[in-house]
Amino acid sequence: MFRFASPQYLYLLLVLLALTAIHYYIIYRKKQQVKRFGDPELTKQLFLGVSRWRPEVKFWLAVGALASFIVALARPQFGTRLDTRERMGIEAIIALDVSNSMLAEDVKPNRLEKAKMMVSNMVDGMKDDKVGLIVFAGQAFVQLPITSDYVSAKMFLETISPSMVSVQGTDVAEAINLSMRSFTQQEDVSRAIFVITDGEDNEARGVEAAKEAAAKGVRVYVLGIGNPGGAPIPIPGTGQYIIDDEGNTVISKLSEEMCREIATAGNGSYIYVDNSSSAQKKLSEQLDRLSKTKMESQVYSEYDEQFQGFILIGLLLLLLDVLLLERESKTTWLGNLFRRGRSVGTMLLLFFSIAAVAQTDRDYIRRGNRLMRDSVYDKAQVEYQKAIEKDNTNPISHFNLGNALLYQNKAEDAMKEYETAARLEKDKTRLAQIYHNMGVLLQSAKQFDKAVACYRNSLRNDPTNNETRYNYALSLFQLKKNQNQQDQQDQQKDDKGKDEKLEKQQQQQKQEQDKKDQQQQQPQPEQMSRENAEQMLNAAMQDEKATQEKIQKAQQQRQHRQLQKQW
């Protein structure tokens, strides 16, 4: 595909048309003046040594040189390229326990938040590795497919909570098995699974799964988080704690013995996580000990710049223009070159000036890219902003600036740059990546409806991106889940309103009945006793009915808890 990155400079070609018109007008005027002196054939003998064709050739050489420089200034671009660079790294899957027991506060602020901070620091220390994220409780599912996009990994990490998994419990085996299926198909790559859990494995199949993983060359590391003495499990937003079927407060304890057994079976190590930073250091040491393997990854690059060829053509045409004299001369071309040395220097200065203008914004972008690779995001941001000042129509500058802002946790500013890049970008592959990044930002902000729209736009431009398809499906699931929760809340409000209305009606009826009872006369004891008896009977029947409903609800809840453990 061919395009001009700065097509506005092509309007300068109109100046060449004007110069051509002026040139031929001057020639016409000269011919008219010559005719005034006499016969043109006779006057030719007065201009000995003057060439008829050389001035014309020199003019078109100059016009051709200027046209080449103008085209170069418009930055012609043709084709794209995929840069393949070799990286040394590993593939790591993090299996994070999100069961309710991870809300225990024996590790501050609680087990789950401590685990998320450790994973975030772990990702910060990665450079050329690939990382995937799996959450599990009684079931396990992939939160983030294995990728080298560390920004997405940290954003998905922030959204993790126990409500993500409906089936509670702790099934370590399912998490390990799913992790094994989540690695890439590349051969001869070092792989490891990092299980972060409090060790309450309700299924007791983790050791067998770890052995199977180790047999396939995958190490299993277990990070046991919590206190062996145990701690109660708070219910968020209530100030209460989870209780068992008998009404006793549940105490969740770290099972270090089970964690060690799984780590040993998986040919890995067990790391105890407490309130200190020692576990983070041990985790970093274990990562460093893993052998790094060569992994090739293709990095999409921008359009290839083709202005260099036009600059070269313009320079050659200028050089020919300088060497060619208007008068016929026996002087060698080398003599002419020295005679016109100043003109050559002037033209070379013009060439380098134009080349510098054409390369200015690209140089800023390249410097910014180098700083991004070195994780110096604030300085990279400055370079991209300078590139935008030189050419604010380049979508690459806006996209890269958005990435630099994203790495500095400036999500709102990054979104603005992505939106600008999306308006300017024409290439489908890059446009798909822009919409993907916008979707990740919106998904992390829990704006799932907008995230779904961005992922759709991304897939329209690049339907082959598996990571975008997964994020799209996950956003749809979260959107439907939120809608269902909202519907349930609305239904509960409606039910509560109906109950309050019914209660008010009952109170009014009771007040009216009391008033009637007071207005009735003392005689007629038999009639009053009969009415009182009927009222008491009706009240008793209603109480009995309410009691039976409560018993049925309690039985249903008890059956549900027998099928599904709540921590």
Both tokens of 49, joined, read 């040594």
Q: Exposed, middle or buried by CB within 10 Å (0-12, 13-18, 19+), for 214?
A: middle
- The encoded tokens of residue 198 equal 């409090």
Q: Give yes or no for a contact between 395 and 425, defined as CB atoms under 8 angstroms apart.
A: yes
- Digit-by-digit pLDDT tens for the chain (567 residues) are 677 877 888 998 999 999 899 988 988 887 777 677 666 666 666 555 566 778 888 889 989 999 999 998 888 877 655 555 566 788 999 999 998 888 998 888 899 999 999 999 998 888 778 899 999 988 888 888 888 888 878 888 888 888 877 777 788 999 999 999 999 888 778 899 999 998 766 556 889 999 999 999 999 999 999 888 888 989 888 888 888 878 888 888 888 888 999 999 999 999 999 888 888 999 888 888 886 666 555 555 556 677 888 888 988 888 888 887 766 655 544 444 444 444 545 555 555 555 544 456 777 888 888 888 777 888 889 889 888 988 888 888 899 999 889 888 888 899 999 999 999 988 888 899 899 999 888 888 888 889 889 999 999 888 888 778 878 888 888 888 778 777 676 666 666 666 666 667 767 766 776 666 665 544 444 444 555 555 655 665 666 566 556 555 544 443 333 334 566
Q: Which residue has the tokens 């105490």?
A: 251
* Category of 551 on φ-ψ map: left (φ > 0), alpha (ψ -120 to 50) or beta: alpha
Q: Which two tokens stand for residue 466?
A: 């598996």
Q: What's the Rg (C-alpha) of the chain?
A: 39
448: tokens are 């799932």
Q: d(Cα 112, Cα 99) in Å, to the nearest integer?
A: 9
Query: Mind listing the pLDDT tens digit for each residue in 515-556?
Result: 666 655 444 444 445 555 556 556 656 665 665 565 555 444
* Phi, psi torsion values for 195, nearest 5 degrees: -95, 120
Tokens of 203: 């299924």
Domain boundaries, the chain: 1-83+306-339, 91-291
The yes/no answer on whether domain 91-291 falls in CATH 3.40.50.410 is yes
159-186 residue pLDDT tens: 888 887 777 778 899 999 999 999 988 8
Q: Residue 102 in contact with residue 112, Cβ under 8 Å?
A: yes
Strands 140-147 and 231-232: what pairing?
unpaired
Across-strand partners of 197?
224
Phi, psi of 512 (to 5 degrees): -65, -40
CA atoms within 13 A on the CB side of 31: 8
